[in-house]
Structure 1
Amino acid sequence: MKAHIGDRLILEGTHLGDGRRTAVVTALRHDDGSPPYEVRWLDDGRTTLIFPGPQAHVEPATSS
């Protein structure tokens, strides 16, 4: 998995009733875009460091 600053990290729920969570990548720890990522969660605004698992995928940032 590779990401860039501004990309969205989408985590799909793994259990019945779990919702999807979306975060924006705010910082990278590696120049090649590999995890871990610093992200800001859109649902609560918290910033965390994440090592995404198989339930996650990256959506590239849209340029406007």
Structure 2
Amino acid sequence: MQAVAGDFIVISSKHDDEPNRVGMIQEVHGEDGAPPYVVKWEDNGHTTTLFPGPDAHIEHRPEDITGVHP
């Protein structure tokens, strides 16, 4: 898994009735974009250090002209 600051990480929900967990990667501490990542979570605004598991994937979401991510 490789990411850069500003990418999003998505953790797939284990239950159909729960949403996926999404966070913006603030910092990348591994070599060549590898984990661990410092992630700010969209659902609660908390920041954590994450070593993602197999249920995670990276998404690049380009900013619009206002600098706000969709």
Structure with higher Rg: it is 2
d(CA) in 2 for partners of 1:35 and 1:61?
19
d(CA) in 1 for partners of 2:30 and 2:49?
13
Unpaired runs of at least 5, structure 2: 65-70
Matches within 5 A, 1:13-28: 13-28=13-28
The number of aligned residues is 64
Q: Deviation of residue 29 (structure 1)?
A: 0.7
Sequence identity, in percent? Answer: 38
Structure 1 match to 2:58: 58
Unpaired runs of at least 5, structure 1: none
d(CA) in 1 for partners of 2:63 and 2:11?
22
Q: Secondary structure at the match of 2:32?
A: coil
Alignment TM-score, normalising by the size of structure 2: 0.81
Q: What is the root-mean-square deviation of aligned Cα atoms in Å?
A: 1.5
Q: Secondary structure at the match of 2:24?
A: strand
Q: Deviation of residue 63 (structure 1)?
A: 4.5
